[in-house]
Chains A and B, each alone.
Chain A
């Protein structure tokens, strides 16, 4: 297990790749619950295993970071403390690590309440936004979006931003987006300038055919 123990992330990945490819192959398709960024907005996940405590949630702005505990001021005046561990997944426009979390960020966390009052986070989504908008302008590096009366700049991220046309699978091909389209936008808000790093732009079916 020396490769697993090593601190070199490439060695570790190599080891994990070998482990993954030696795993059992399961073929078949079925519709099940999701744990991706969409799940942050879904109904609370009920564990199948009765021994596992039901998931708890926390949301709000991070007011302080003390080692691995995030102090969170909730939107409704409540306060919570969220503990991030090595097993916690951190999403900030992409899968990342706790080092990317900053004071002032918005947070949505799912986890298990501990006796000391903290929430041991299983998953943390940082600055996640999911909004309905209209595409008002298209440039090489960004989209101009209108959400209600608010103008929002959406930053396109190479290798990350995907488009979903109707019910089709997400694609890296953004050439089907047109001005005037309504879009469901999933992304990460940037507190510094109020823009949104776009992760997925979902538009109506067939809309991508027009130019």
Chain B
């Protein structure tokens, strides 16, 4: 099995380098991403970093092609010169990636994109290190391959297929943004199968309507929104100083309590409570002209104060 894995390494490695290289060379995001990568910090210029990423993409594509093409000249020992060169180059590339990642980690511990796949703005994580190490190991294995990958695959097609699929799955799991690729689709699927976990909140707001014919109480936020757009609010807004102090429902009314100052800023100023009563079932959705009751009472005595401010 290990011999098969070694002989198939060029194929898998070509797949990895081919995708990453094509992304860097042809991806529209490369120029946009480059200034945010650690490479830009290393080269001290975003434009140079973009160029370097594109060149690296081209090199990766060339390596992928060389790995796919396999041996050019069979050597007496059985090793294949073309494959050895491409494998060694890929191993060097993997070692270079590892070094670059270590630099990126040291230069910008949190946040800098590695630019590894030039697609998403992904920070340097353990996944990037594992990917680079995989390229290094794959390169060494490809250099040590004893026969072309198609010969090895032809001899044991089923095992080869399983091996390639497993490698592809592992590499996908290591891809830069697992959330975007599979965690969110899986969660969406679960919701589709098990139903929306918050569906009951929708039933709660609609049930009392049907059962009693009366309007169900709306969320407090809807009542406050209704109040703040009402003429009642306008008439006493200069008295109100606090945000919402307290609120409660009583007999279909929702009472909203604020604190305020009445009588200007001089010695005659008195602390007051400003009370609003709104329909507990009304919101801007259901009422165009809300009827709001307003009371201003003295905070110390509880005596009503005329709201003529």
Contact = CB atoms under 8 A, between A and B. Distances in A.
Interface in B249-278: 250, 253, 255, 257-261, 264-266, 271, 273, 275-277
A177 B242 CA distance: 32
B224 interface: yes
A26 B297 contact: no
A91 B242 CA distance: 11
Interface string A28-66: 111111111101000000011101110000000000000
Contact of A51 (B218, B228, B253, B265): B265
Contacts of A28: 230-231, 289
B206, B226, B228, B276: most-surrounded residue (chain A CB, <10 A): B228
A164 B222 CA distance: 9
B201, B224, B301: most-surrounded residue (chain A CB, <10 A): B201
Contacts of B232: 26
Contacts, number: 226
Interface residues on A, range: 35 or more
Interface stretch (B82-90, B93-101, B192-200): B192-200
B138 interface: no
Contact of B225 (A4, A20, A22, A170): A170
Nearest to B204: A172
Contacts of B258: 35, 89
B238 to A, nearest CB: 4
Given A25-B291, A29-B288, A169 B243 contact: no
A95 interface: yes
Nearest to A140: B197
A22 B255 CA distance: 12
A137 to B, nearest CB: 5
A52 B265 contact: yes
B187 A1 contact: no
Interface string A3-35: 011000000011111011111111111111111
B222 A171 contact: yes
Interface string B185-221: 0011001100011111110111000000000001111
B162 to A, nearest CB: 33
Nearest to A10: B248
Contact of A179 (B187, B230, B292): B187
Interface string A166-191: 00111111111101100000000000
Main secondary structure of the interface of A (DSSP, over half): loop
B244 A53 contact: no
A138 interface: yes
Contacts of B261: 52
Interface in A60-111: 86-89, 91, 94-95
A27 B231 contact: yes
A137 B219 CA distance: 24
B11 to A, nearest CB: 35
A24 B308 CA distance: 11
Contact of A53 (B222, B224, B265): B265
